[in-house]
Amino acid sequence: MNFSLKSVTSVSGFLFVFIALVFFGVESNRMFADDPSSKPSEESLIAILKSDAPKAEKAITCKKLAIWGSAACVDEIAKLLVDDELTSWARISLENIPDPAADEALVEALSKVEGRSLVGVINSLGVRKTKSAVAAIAERLQGDEEVAVASALALGKIGDAAAADALLKQASNVSSKKVSNAIAEGLNRISEQRFIAGELEPSISIAKSVLGMDVPKIRKIEATRCLILASKESGVPALIEQLQSKDRDFKNIGLAVARELQGDGVSALLVAAIDDLGEETSSLLILALADRGDASVLAEMKKIVRDGSPESRIAAMEVLKEVGGVDSLEVLLASATDTNSEVAVAATATIAQLSGQEIDQEIVSRLGVADSATQAVLISLIGKRRIDAVEPIVASASSENGEVRAAALTALGQIATEAELDLLVGRAIGSDKKFESDQALALESLKYVAVRLADPTVVVTKLDAAMQRVDEPAQVKILEILAAIGGEKALTVIGKAAISESKLLQDSATQLLGAWMTVDAGPVLLELAARPGYAFRVRSLRGYLRLVRQFLMPDPQRLAMCQKAFAVAERDEEKKLLLEVVQRYPSTGMLELARQIGEKNPQLKGDVDKVVKIMEEKQK
Site for other proteins in 373-402 (CB under 8 A): 383-384, 386
According to the binding rule CB under 8 A, does residue 203 interact with other proteins? no
According to the binding rule CB under 8 A, does residue 32 interact with other proteins? no
Q: Of the two residues 341 and 431, which places its CB atom closer to other proteins in the complex?
A: 341
Q: Of the two residues 305 and 608, which places its CB atom closer to other proteins in the complex?
A: 305
* Nearby residues of 47 by Cβ (< 8 Å), 6 or more positions away: none
**Burial class of residue 247, CB neighbours in 10 A (0-12, 13-18, 19+):** exposed
* Nearby residues of 382 by Cβ (< 8 Å), 6 or more positions away: 363, 364, 367, 389, 393, 411, 415
CA distance 20 to 35: 8
Alpha-carbon dihedral 177, 149, 82, 72, rounded to 10 degrees: 180
According to the binding rule CB under 8 A, does residue 56 interact with other proteins? yes
Binding residues for other proteins restricted to 143-182, rule: CB under 8 A: 146, 150, 153-154
> What's the distance, Cα to Cα, between the start and end of the chain in Å?
10
Q: Contacting other proteins (CB under 8 A), which of 11, 33, 369, 419?
A: 11
**Burial class of residue 614, CB neighbours in 10 A (0-12, 13-18, 19+):** middle
* Nearby residues of 288 by Cβ (< 8 Å), 6 or more positions away: 255, 258, 259, 270
Binding residues for other proteins restricted to 91-130, rule: CB under 8 A: 91-92, 94-96, 98, 100, 102-103, 116-117, 119-120, 123-124, 126-130
Q: Of the two residues 317 and 497, which places its CB atom closer to other proteins in the complex?
A: 317
Residue 334 Cβ vs other proteins, minimum distance, rounded to whole Å: 18
Say if CB 489 and CB 460 are below 8 A apart: yes
Residue 28 Cβ vs other proteins, minimum distance, rounded to whole Å: 5
CA distance 76 to 520: 68
Q: Contacting other proteins (CB under 8 A), which of 80, 110, 271, 322?
A: 322
Which of these segments, 289-297, 388-396, 463-471, 584-592, binds other proteins (CB under 8 A)?
Answer: 289-297
Q: Contacting other proteins (CB under 8 A), which of 42, 233, 291, 592?
A: 291
Residue 429 Cβ vs other proteins, minimum distance, rounded to whole Å: 21
Binding residues for other proteins restricted to 581-600, rule: CB under 8 A: none
Which of these segments, 57-65, 134-142, 529-537, 591-599, binds other proteins (CB under 8 A)?
Answer: 57-65
Q: Binding string to other proteins for residues 248 to 287, with x set by CB under 8 A, is what?
A: -x--xx-xxx-xx-x-----------------x--xx-xx
Alpha-carbon dihedral 380, 485, 482, 406, rounded to 10 degrees: 0
Which of these segments, 327-335, 427-435, 444-452, 554-562, binds other proteins (CB under 8 A)?
Answer: 444-452
Q: In whole angstroms, how large is the CA radius of gyration of the chain?
A: 37
Q: Of the two residues 134 and 608, which places its CB atom closer to other proteins in the complex?
A: 134
Nearest Cα to Cα of residue 592 among 620, 616, 571, 557: 616
CA distance 421 to 449: 8
According to the binding rule CB under 8 A, does residue 26 interact with other proteins? yes
Say if CB 92 and CB 65 are below 8 A apart: no
- Can you list the positions of beta strands (E) in 475-550? none
Residue 267 Cβ vs other proteins, minimum distance, rounded to whole Å: 13
CA distance 598 to 601: 5
DSSP state at residue 276: G
Binding residues for other proteins restricted to 483-522, rule: CB under 8 A: 517
According to the binding rule CB under 8 A, does residue 19 interact with other proteins? yes
Which of these segments, 184-192, 204-212, 489-497, 501-509, binds other proteins (CB under 8 A)?
Answer: 184-192
DSSP state at residue 263: S
According to the binding rule CB under 8 A, does residue 23 interact with other proteins? yes
CA distance 532 to 574: 17
How many chain residues interact with other proteins (CB under 8 A)?
Answer: 119
According to the binding rule CB under 8 A, does residue 55 interact with other proteins? yes
Tell me which H or E stretch contains 430: none
Nearest Cα to Cα of residue 161 among 128, 195, 134: 134
Q: Contacting other proteins (CB under 8 A), which of 4, 37, 44, 51?
A: 37
Which of these segments, 163-171, 395-403, 408-416, 528-536, binds other proteins (CB under 8 A)?
Answer: 408-416
According to the binding rule CB under 8 A, does residue 295 interact with other proteins? no
Say if CB 204 and CB 231 are below 8 A apart: yes
Q: Of the two residues 93 and 506, which places its CB atom closer to other proteins in the complex?
A: 93
Q: Of the two residues 494 and 612, which places its CB atom closer to other proteins in the complex?
A: 494
